[in-house]
Structure 1
Amino acid sequence: MTESNQTVHLKKSVAPYEHSRISVSVRQMANTLLPLVALWSAAYLSLSVSYLLTLLFAVGASFFVIRTFIIFHDCCHGSFFKSKRANDIVGNITGVLTLVPYQQWKNSHAIHHATSSNLDKRGVGDLWILTVDEYASASRMTKLAYRLYRHPLIMFGLGPIYVFVFQYRFNRKGARRKEQLNTYLMNAMIVALYALMCWAIGWEAFLLVQGPVFYLSGVLGVWLFYVQHQFEDSYFEHDEEWSYVKAAVDGSSYYKLPKFLQWLTGNIGFHHVHHLSPKVPNYYLEQAHDAVPPLHKATTITIRQSLESLKFRLWDEEGKRFVSFRDVRDRLRKPAGVRRGSASADPRKAS
C-alpha cells in the first residue's frame, strides 16, 4: 500500500470519531473546571490548618489544570465544539487559566503537527533535538547550551517557569496581527484575574496556593509533551523520506496510564491517534485506538518505561533511535564532521 493510500485508509478508519458532541464537551467542562475551583478553594481554606494539606489539595488541582489544558488543546484544533466561535471563546478562557496564549499556541501547534519528526523542519512547537552528527559538529557554546537544555533539572525544573511565565508572554517572530493582539489581550486578562485574586484573598495566600498549582501543572505538562515523542524507537526522517502516517503512528507514543490518570490527563496518552487525526476530540481517542487495528502497532510506554526517556539526549540517524551521550561517547570523541544535509549544527538557525 502506498503512503497516500495508507493515509487515506487510516483517515477513513478514524473518521467516525472526528466529531464532537456538545453534551459530552459541556459535561467535560463541568467535571474539569468545577473540581479545579473546588480543589483550589480547599487549598486556600486549608492554609489556616496545615500547609502540607494545602500542598495535597494543590497536587489535585494541578492535575485538573492539565485536564483544563486538554480542553484548551482541543479548542485549538477546532475539535471540542462544532462551532468555531465556541472553540475560540472556551479556548481563550481556558488559555487564561493555563497561562497559554490561544492564537499563538494554536498556530505554533499546527506547525508542530505538520512537521513532527521531520529532521529538516524543526524549531517551531517542538523540543530542541540534535542528531549525533549535528552535536559532534556543533560549537562548544552550542554543545553547552544543548546539554543544559536537555538536562532533566533544567527541562523539568526551570523549563515550566521559563515557558509559561516568560516565553508565552511574548509574540513569536513573524506573528500576524491577530495573533499579536490575542497575546496582548490574554496577558491583560491574566493580570486582571491575578490582581482580582490577590485583592480578594491577599497576595501572600494567593502565591502560597497558586505557586505550587502552577509549578506542578507546568512540570506535568512539559513531561507529557516530552515523553510522547522522546522514546527510544521513535521516528525521525529527512523531508524527502518523511511520512505523515509514520510520524503519527511511529513517532508518537501510546502512553499507557492507569485509568484514573488517563482520565485526569484527558486521554492525551493516545498521542498517536491524536497526531493521525487532530479532529478527534480527546474523549473519543481511546475508542478510535481500539477500533483501528493498525493503531495498535504504536509504541506502548508505561510509566516505568517512560522514566527511561530521561537519559535520551540525541537522535542517532544510524541506529534510528534516541541515545544518551554515554551511548555514543566514542563517536563524539572523533573529529567533528559535517552533518548530513546541512552545514549548520543547529537546525533552528535555518528555520
Structure 2
Amino acid sequence: MSELKQSQLKKSVAPFERNDLKVSIRQLANTLLPLIVLWAAAYWSLSVSYLLTLGIGVLASAFVVRTFIIFHDCCHGSFFSNKRANDILGIITGVITLVPYQQWKNSHAIHHATSSNLDKRGVGDLWILTVDEYSALTPLQKLTYRAYRNPIVMFGLGPIFVFVLQYRFNRKGARRKERLNTYLMNVLIVAVYALLGWALGWQQFLMVQFPIFYLSGVLGIWLFYVQHQFEDSYFEKDDEWSYVMAAVEGSSYYKLPKLLQWLTGNIGFHHVHHLSPKVPNYYLENAHDATPPLQKATTITIMQSLESLRFRLWDERDKKFVSFRDVKDRISNRRERPVGARRQKRAG
C-alpha cells in the first residue's frame, strides 16, 4: 500500500472521530445499570442456588467487558469531548474492572504506536518471539516462554496475575502522575471491596464477585490476544514498519454475532480502532462499513479464532505465525531454502 493510499485511508475515517454525548450517556446507562442489577441478582440468588448465581455471573461478566470498553475509550479520550470527564469516568470504570487508569492509558498508547513493530516490543503487548529468537534461547528460557504461551497459563492464571498482581504496581520508569494514580486506584479498589465485604459478608461477596471478575478477565485477555494473533498477521522491523499497515493488516476484524458484538462494545472492529483510536466504540462499525478498504481486513469468526491457540512464534521468513510443532522443521529447512516472498496482502 503506497503512502498516498495510507494517508487517504486515515482521512476516510476522520468523520467518525467524534463522540456524541447522548450516545455516550445512553451507553453508560445500558452498561452500568444492567451490571448493577445483575450483580444484585447474583447476590440474592445465593439463597436459591449457587449454580443460578454462576449463571447470572456469566452474563454480568459480559457487562464488565462492556464496561472495560468504555474505560478503553476514556483512555483514548474518545468517549467524551471533555478531558476531565474522560479521566473521572476512566477512574470509576477502572475501579470496576481493576485496571489502573493512567498506567493503562500510557502503556496502551505505546501499544498503538508500536503494534507489530519487531524492534519495539515489550510495552502494552503480549510476549511474542520470532522463530530465530526462540531457537537462540537456552532450554530454561524456552521452557519459560512455552509456559507463558500455554493457554492454561495465559487464560487460566493470566487474569489473576494481570488484574490482581501486575496492575497493582507501577511500571518501571512511570512518571509521578501515573504512579500517584496507581496508588489512588489501589486505595479506591480496596475501599470498595472492603465496604462491600463488610456490608454483604466476605464469603457472600467473594462468591459473587470472584466468578464475575475471573470470567471477564479471561474474556478480556482472549479478545486482546485473538485480534493480533492470527496466522497472516503483520510484523516488520522498524525501518519497514508502517502504522497504517500495522492497523489494517496486524489487527483483525473479529466478526461476532450481533449480541456478542454489542456486549463487547464493537471491539471486534479492531482494525478500525487501531487505524483511528479517536473513533468511539459506537462508531467503529459505521467507519468499517463506510470504508471499502477496511472491509478487506482479515476477518475471523469465532470458530476460526480458536485456531489462534496454536500460534506461538512469528516466522519472519514466511511472514506468518507458527506453532511450536512447526519450529523444528522450519529451522532445519532454513539452510536449504531462500527467503520466501511476502504473500500478497488483502488490504493493498
Task: Please tell me the residue identity of whatever aligns with 1:135.
Answer: Y
| Residue 92 of structure 1 pairs with residue 85 of structure 2 | no
Deviation at 1:136, TM superposition (A): 0.3
Partner of 2:192: 193
| Residue 152 of structure 1 pairs with residue 171 of structure 2 | no
Task: Please tell me the residue identity of whatever aligns with 1:67.
Answer: R
Structure 1 Cα separation of the partners of residues 246 and 175 of structure 2: 28
**Structure 1 vs Structure 2: percent identity of aligned residues?**
78
Deviations 1:282-312 (A, max 9, x none): 0000000000001011000000000000000
Where in structure 1 are there 5+ consecutive unaligned residues? 337-351
- May I ask how many residue pairs the two structures share in their alignment? 335
- Secondary structure at the residue paired with 2:78? coil
Deviations 1:41-98 (A, max 9, x none): 0000000000000000100000000000000000000000000010000000000000
Task: Please tell me the residue identity of whatever aligns with 1:308.
Answer: E
Structure 2 Cα separation of the partners of residues 329 and 302 of structure 1: 30
- Secondary structure at the residue paired with 1:246? helix
Structure-2-length-normalised TM-score:
0.95
Partner of 1:208: 207
Partner of 2:328: 329
Task: Please tell me the residue identity of whatever aligns with 1:193.
Answer: V
Structure 2 Cα separation of the partners of residues 6 and 103 of structure 1: 34
- Secondary structure at the residue paired with 1:194? helix
Task: Please tell me the residue identity of whatever aligns with 2:293.
Answer: P
Where in structure 2 are there 5+ consecutive unaligned residues? 336-348
Structure 2 Cα separation of the partners of residues 7 and 102 of structure 1: 31
Structure 2 Cα separation of the partners of residues 92 and 7 of structure 1: 35
Question: How does 1:247-326 map onto structure 2 within 5 Å?
Answer: 247-326=246-325
Partner of 1:243: 242
Partner of 1:7: 6
Deviations 1:153-209 (A, max 9, x none): 000000110000000000000000000000000000000000000011000000000
Deviations 1:15-41 (A, max 9, x none): 110000010000000000000000000
Task: Please tell me the residue identity of whatever aligns with 1:98.
Answer: T
Deviation at 1:335, TM superposition (A): 11
- Secondary structure at the residue paired with 1:38? helix
Structure 2 Cα separation of the partners of residues 183 and 217 of structure 1: 21
Partner of 2:339: none
Partner of 2:127: 128
Structure 2 Cα separation of the partners of residues 295 and 140 of structure 1: 42
Task: Please tell me the residue identity of whatever aligns with 1:2.
Answer: S
Structure 1 Cα separation of the partners of residues 311 and 256 of structure 2: 21
Partner of 2:345: none
- Secondary structure at the residue paired with 2:239? helix
Partner of 1:182: 181
Deviations 1:120-140 (A, max 9, x none): 000000000000000001112
Task: Please tell me the residue identity of whatever aligns with 1:57.
Answer: I
Deviation at 1:327, TM superposition (A): 1.6
Task: Please tell me the residue identity of whatever aligns with 1:186.
Answer: M
Structure 2 Cα separation of the partners of residues 83 and 178 of structure 1: 19
Deviation at 1:326, TM superposition (A): 1.0
Deviations 1:138-160 (A, max 9, x none): 11221111000000000000011
Task: Please tell me the residue identity of whatever aligns with 1:287.
Answer: N
- Secondary structure at the residue paired with 1:250? helix
Partner of 1:23: 22
| Residue 111 of structure 1 pairs with residue 110 of structure 2 | yes
Deviation at 1:315, TM superposition (A): 0.3
Deviation at 1:334, TM superposition (A): 8.7
Q: Which is further off, 68-77 or 134-143?
A: 134-143
Structure-1-length-normalised TM-score:
0.94
Structure 2 Cα separation of the partners of residues 105 and 125 of structure 1: 8
Cα RMSD between the aligned structures? 1.3
Q: Which is further off, 257-266 or 318-327?
A: 318-327
- Secondary structure at the residue paired with 1:241? coil
Deviation at 1:329, TM superposition (A): 2.1
Partner of 2:42: 43
Question: How does 1:159-178 map onto structure 2 within 5 Å?
Answer: 159-178=158-177
| Residue 62 of structure 1 pairs with residue 69 of structure 2 | no
